[in-house]
Amino acid sequence: MGKVIIASNRLPLNIQITEDGLTVTPSVGGLATGLKPVHQQTGSVWIGWTGLPEDEVPPERQQQIDELLVSEQCGSVWMDHEEIERVYYGFSNETLWPLFHYFMEYVRFDPENWAAYKRVNERFADAIAEQAEPGDTIWIHDYQLLLVPALVRERVPDAAIGFFLHIPFPSFEVFRTLPWRSEILEGMLGADLIGFHTHNYTRHFLSSVRRLLGYDVQEHRVHLPRRIAHADSFPLGIDYQHFHQTAVQHAERTRREQSDIQKALDRFLAAREDLRLVLSIDRLDYTKGIANRLRAFERFLERYPQYVGNVSLIMLTVPSRSAVPQYQRMKSEVDELVGRINGEYASIDWHPVHYFYRSLPFDQLVDLYTTCDIALLTPIRDGMNLVAKEYIASRYNKRGVLILSEMAGAANEMSEALLINPNDADDIADALHEALTMPETEQIERNFILQDRLERYDIKKWSQDFRDSLKNVHAAQQRFLSRKLDPSELTELASAFGEAESRILFLDYDGTLVGFRSQPEKAAPDPELYAMLDQLAGMPNTRLVLISGRDKGSFDRWFGNKPYTLVCEHGVWTRPAGGEWQQADGLETDWKPAVRQVLELFTDRTPGSLIEEKDYGLAWHYRKADPELGTMRANELKDRLNFSLSGQNLEVLYGHKVVEVKNAGINKGRAGMRVLEDGKEAFVLAVGDDWTDETLFEALPDRAHTIKVGMQNSFAKANLESPAEVRAMLQALTGSTVEGTAFAGGA
């Protein structure tokens, strides 16, 4: 089993340069703790930035640091002062952070910052590739490294790559404003598995992929030209036992063993028996809704004057990104609000707000969690919010109430908390009142359920779950690649073709010989295709059959004078080489007006869709419609047709962005078998991309060579990835070499 390579902007440790040398302290963040067991596995390595500017550390010190990092199973990526400004403060925290949290008014689009971001992402990819060996798992984290998955894929094509985004993924309407939106999506899609905290973020990501890049998305899968990437939600958990057990131990401490903060809190509470404490903890960040919270607390004191003098808010605000201008402005706003509320309401023995602008050691954090009756967390937007989970985990006696913003990812899993809208001060004031009057039995009931859930899906489970899923996705990918026709199989196919006395080739057209076009009438054959088909059809004892769902008009125009057998409308029409069009038996058209009426209704309600009339069929195409609306309408149409066609001798086909109604019993399988007659040809080959081709793959005799174009499962014996590869394969059959064609490019 290979090692795990973790990559994140910061390393899980801090390095201080002192006069005596270097000191290393582990970082206390949730991610560092959670990934510790993975990181400690033999050989595993964590790649990231030390937090030190490259141009302020002399080269010999840098070397010392790098050596020290190796002994800590880490590798460094260095950034100089300007890169820190442009990449960390700039593109990451002045473009991506506000955009992904829906703070459009704070977003800066600076091409130089983007260029630096790309450069540093390349550096990360180089560092990862340098460590990567076959069988390794690469796990990349967060918005500072969005381009790294694809950059690593370029360097190590077969690697198992996972990516996890810790912040929200915004809706398409917001994400589309980013000038570098396509590069960012392609960057993320370099991973086999892309993880988000919630299903909504996953949905937003897939919707942007579909609309901006045009890739086909089915459930959680993105069909890329050469691979399938999966996107799914994995809600990050916490180290539940660590918080819970620390809280239990703290409750058993003697007074002498207590922390200073616990002693002060106890003294404070002893002096005022009726005093209730409300806690909030967050980084000083505009997404956390700190000003909203203060205004709502003020509203609470106005609306419920009985609590004046009895309820205090303890607000721990951890300094963060203080070099970014919006953070400086917000600090002044918060300082002012705290001053105003305290100025208005405080008395000699009571303060409404106790405001701490610093961070505290872990033990004291747990003291705050266990001592405060209520946690009030009001982010305007938050990827997850671990504080909410940590508060509940620390409530060892199951008492206490969590008030949580519905805009935090954590709200999805914590519906037993009191969920509030952070922009609604009245809602928050009422929730505080509800929390203060909630019976203990109800508190216990709610916390019992919450704790049970947090304990089960803790950070270790999360990390295991993500890596197991990545392993499965990657294995499926490898299985597919092993089905792919490789150069040696192509050589065998070409010699079987060459040695056979007679041959027949069934080739689908759209998506097989030519790529899909938004306007099907523009998908006419190019001179290169004609030349190749002519060459194949001109070989001795060789029948070339073009078998398609298209109407016979197009095929007549394009191939009417060619010596190919033509099959149209999935087998309604057949024209032998040099012969006349023949129609399949028992076909009817009297159903068309009623079905056309239904299709017209759907066309009117789905901009971009159109109806194609065939002799014995009607097709509704939605390739040019909005992809989400198109898929939704296709499902509605399916239900509607199933209902209105029941009892008639008709069939509904679902092809690639098309729904088609036609006479029952007509399919490529039957048509193909009619052409094959008694199966005289020694060499039989069928190639197609659509599921309508599956009937042909299934019907043909065992000796047939069958090839599916695309990454889906199939009755076909092998797969190719694209029309370009199909052409290269056909070229090889005509005797040309494989080299220099698209085929040689491989996976």
* Contacts with ligand GDG, residue ranges (CB under 6 A): 28, 30, 166-167, 236, 281, 283, 316, 318, 359-360, 362, 365, 382-387, 390
- Sign, CA dihedral 512-516-520-521, equals negative
Place of tokens 């964590």: 46
Radius of gyration of the chain, Cα coordinates, nearest whole angstrom: 32
Cβ closer to ligand GDG: 281 or 513? 281
Cβ closer to ligand GDG: 365 or 513? 365
Rounded distance between C-alpha atoms, residue 277 and residue 299, angstroms: 17
CB of 160 to ligand GDG, least distance (A): 22
Return the number of other C-beta atoms located less than 10 Å from residue 184's C-beta. 21
Cβ closer to ligand GDG: 116 or 167? 167
CB of 390 to ligand GDG, least distance (A): 5
CB of 88 to ligand GDG, least distance (A): 15
* Amino acid making up residue 449: I
Cβ closer to ligand GDG: 360 or 652? 360
Cβ closer to ligand GDG: 17 or 360? 360
Selecting among 427, 508, 510, 689, the annotated active-site residue is: 508
* Amino acid making up residue 337: L
Closest CA to 613 of 694, 520, 695, 515: 520
| Alpha-carbon dihedral angle through residues 639, 641, 642, 646, given to the nearest 10 degrees | 150
CB of 320 to ligand GDG, least distance (A): 8
Cβ closer to ligand GDG: 233 or 554? 233
Element (DSSP H or E) covering residue 155: helix 148-155
Cβ closer to ligand GDG: 167 or 567? 167
CB of 321 to ligand GDG, least distance (A): 11
Closest CA to 652 of 606, 710, 691, 607: 691
Strand partners, 602: none
Please give the structure tokens belonging to residue 516. Answer: 């899909």
Closest CA to 458 of 39, 37, 74: 37
Cβ closer to ligand GDG: 142 or 721? 142
Cβ closer to ligand GDG: 464 or 519? 464
Give the CA angle between residues 180, 97, 408 to the nearest 5°: 125
CB 205 within 8 A of CB 181: no
Cβ closer to ligand GDG: 224 or 318? 318
Q: Is 134 helix (H, G, I), strand (E, B) or coil?
A: coil
Half-sphere exposure of 674 (CA within 13 A, CB side): 21
Place of tokens 């149209």: 568
CB of 238 to ligand GDG, least distance (A): 7
Strands in 401-405's sheet, in edge-to-edge order, are 353-357, 311-318, 276-283, 374-377, 401-405, 418-420
Cβ closer to ligand GDG: 390 or 458? 390
Please give the structure tokens belonging to residue 172. Answer: 């398409």
Instruction: Name the packing angle between helices 148-155 and 111-131 (round to 10°).
Output: 40
Cβ closer to ligand GDG: 390 or 551? 390
CB of 451 to ligand GDG, least distance (A): 17
CB of 39 to ligand GDG, least distance (A): 17
Closest CA to 434 of 350, 376, 387: 376
CB of 318 to ligand GDG, least distance (A): 4
Cβ closer to ligand GDG: 144 or 443? 144
CA distances, 58 to each of 19, 62, 65, 123, 366 (Å): 14, 6, 11, 20, 40
CB of 29 to ligand GDG, least distance (A): 6
Closest CA to 93 of 72, 117, 74: 117
Backbone phi, psi, residue 503, to 5°:
-145, 150
Rounded distance between C-alpha atoms, residue 435 and residue 445, angstroms: 14
Q: DSSP readout, 456-508?
A: HT-HHHHHHHHHHHHHHHHHHHHHHHHHB--HHHHHHHHHHHHH-SSEEEEE-
Place of tokens 């036992």: 241
Please give the structure tokens belonging to residue 733. Answer: 């059959």
Rounded distance between C-alpha atoms, residue 693 and residue 667, angstroms: 9
CB of 346 to ligand GDG, least distance (A): 24
CB 682 within 8 A of CB 640: no
| Alpha-carbon dihedral angle through residues 41, 43, 48, 50, given to the nearest 10 degrees | 90
Half-sphere exposure of 4 (CA within 13 A, CB side): 22
Please indicate whether residue 508 is annotated as part of the active site.
yes
Please give the structure tokens belonging to residue 421. Answer: 């809208």
CB of 104 to ligand GDG, least distance (A): 18
CB of 387 to ligand GDG, least distance (A): 4
Return the number of other C-beta atoms located less than 10 Å from residue 699's C-beta. 18
Closest CA to 550 of 588, 510, 592: 510
User: Strand 650-655 to strand 658-663: parallel, antiparallel, or no bridges (unpaired)?
Assistant: antiparallel
- Sign, CA dihedral 516-521-522-524, equals positive
Residues assigned a catalytic role: 508
